[in-house]
């Protein structure tokens, strides 16, 4: 919920700064925009922002999986953006972009497929969980 407010407040602040710099900025920016533009902005705002953050924080707060594995998925955003640009907009992908995307996909695959290692939310083998250590008494023994 806090991230959503940050996005709203940040957008309002940037709008206020733009209007302070150029009072006609909003009018000029909105001039010539049609229903398709409004639909694209709604899609990006609702699905790309609100829904994706909602799903991310829902999964982060659930007891399933580890936060390291979940947060590693955010590295896939530019990969999916490049692939979508290739298929939808006909953009050309360069060799460095393909190599970078392959390294990113491989890295995320390694992180998300780990069983019990770095990034695991369970205690390391041979160690005790904090919950299994008996609590010490806070009272001082006076004899």
Structural domain includes residue 16: yes
108 in the same domain as 77: yes
Is 60 exceeded by the pLDDT of residue 83?
yes
57 and 104 belong to one structural domain: no
Q: What are phi and psi of 83, to 5 degrees?
A: -65, -40
Q: Is residue 136 part of a domain?
A: no
Within-domain flag for 17: yes
Domain membership of residue 119 (yes or no) is no
Task: Give the up-direction half-sphere exposure of residue 131: CA atoms within 13 A in the CB hemisphere.
Answer: 2
Domain range enclosing 71:
66-114
**Interval 121-131: pLDDT, tens:** 444 444 444 44
12 shares its domain with 60: yes
Confidence (pLDDT) at 131: 43
What tens digit of pLDDT does each residue of 39-52 get? 988 888 887 777 77
Is 90 domain-assigned? yes
Tell me, what's the pLDDT at 13? 94
Say whether both 12 and 51 belong to one domain: yes
What pLDDT is recorded for position 65?
Answer: 64
Mean per-residue pLDDT of the chain: 77
Average pLDDT over residues 62-74: 76
- Res. 133: pLDDT tops 50: no
- Kindly give, in sequence order, each residue whose CB lies less than 8 Å from that of residue 132, ignoring residues fewer than 6 positions away: none
What is d(CA 84, CA 47) in angstroms, rounded to the nearest whole number? Answer: 15
Co-location of 54 and 1 in the same domain:
yes
Residue 139 has pLDDT above 50, yes or no: no
More confident: 63 or 107: 107
In the chain, the N- to C-terminal Cα span, in Å, equals 53
The yes-or-no verdict on residue 53 having pLDDT over 70 is: yes
């Amino acid at each position: 919920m806090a991230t959503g407010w940050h996005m709203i407040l940040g957008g309002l602040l940037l709008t206020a700064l733009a209007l302070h710099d150029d009072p006609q900025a909003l009018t000029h920016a909105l001039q010539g925009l049609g229903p398709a533009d409004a639909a694209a902005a709604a899609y990006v705002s609702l699905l790309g922002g609100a829904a994706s953050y909602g799903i991310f924080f829902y999964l982060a707060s659930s007891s399933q999986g580890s936060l390291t594995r979940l947060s590693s998925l955010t590295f896939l955003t530019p990969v999916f953006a490049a692939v979508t640009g290739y298929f939808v907009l006909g953009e050309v992908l360069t060799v460095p972009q393909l190599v970078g995307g392959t390294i990113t996909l491989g890295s995320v695959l390694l992180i998300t497929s780990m069983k019990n290692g770095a990034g695991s939310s369970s205690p390391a083998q041979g160690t005790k969980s904090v919950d299994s250590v008996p609590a010490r008494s806070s009272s001082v023994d006076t004899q």
